[in-house]
Amino acid sequence: MFHAPGLAGAIAPDTFTYFPLPFHASGTPRQAAEAFIHARTGDPAIRGFAIVLNTTGQIVGASCFLDIRPLHRGVEIGSTFIAPAHRGTLVNAEAKLLMLTHAFETWGCVRVQLKCDVLNTGSVRAIEKLGAYREGTLRQHMLMPDGRFRDTMMFSILREEWPRIREGLLERLAPRS
């Protein structure tokens, strides 16, 4: 579940640069957090979560299950953002391990998709680092708040790929001796 005050602390000026909804135009980080929460709640095909550090309880971002499709046993993981101080750390890997485990092992999904703006090189690298399969680019897929048409890079992980992906994430998260 989201928490607006804590989530606001994870929002930087560049947080929503590649998001198709204009959360950043909401004013203060608190208002942006509230706009993000409002857009991600109330729809049964979306479930959002705050990313919380176990060690401190600090909220450092958010990620969502989007486009939940029980009939087709699929879901999308997206609308992820992480505070700048925690980007490039293991925070995203741990969050994705939890979400992917839930999708494949609790819901019985056969496909989990992830997508991002082709210009968002940080997200492209993070998704590739997960081991997701790059399916292609959806050209002029979304109209962005600045009027630009976004090309969207589409990735997926299939049920039979999940054990390999899970092992890779567990290796990344294993304590180093």
CA 39 to mean position of chain CA atoms: 15
Tell me, what's the pLDDT at 23?
78
Write the single-letter amino acid at 101: T
Listed residue (10, 149, 95) closest to 23, CA to CA = 10
User: Quick one: average pLDDT of 98-125?
Assistant: 97
What does the pLDDT look like over 18-68, one tens digit per residue?
Answer: 998 877 666 788 888 888 888 888 788 899 999 999 999 999 999 999 999
Return d(Cα 48, Cα 77) in angstroms, integer: 10
- Tell me the whole-structure pTM to 2 decimals: 0.93
Return d(Cα 137, Cα 168) in angstroms, integer: 25
Sort 100 into a burial class: Cβ within 10 Å, 0-12 / 13-18 / 19+.
buried
Query: With contact defined as beta carbons under 8 Å apart, do 97 and 170 qualify?
Result: yes
Return d(Cα 72, Cα 68) in angstroms, integer: 9
Give me the architecture of the 4-173 domain, per CATH.
Answer: 3-Layer(aba) Sandwich (3.40)
Listed residue (119, 113, 124) closest to 18, CA to CA = 119
Tell me, what's the pLDDT at 177?
63
Tell me, what's the pLDDT at 28?
83
CA–CA–CA angle 7, 10, 12 (5° rounding) = 125
What does the pLDDT look like over 119-156, one tens digit per residue?
Answer: 999 999 999 999 999 999 999 999 999 999 999 999 99
Flag whether pLDDT at 99 surpasses 60.
yes
User: Quick one: average pLDDT of 91-95?
Assistant: 96
Radius of gyration of the chain (CA): 16
Query: With contact defined as beta carbons under 8 Å apart, do 24 and 148 qualify?
Result: no
Residues of the chain with pLDDT > 90: what percent?
A: 75
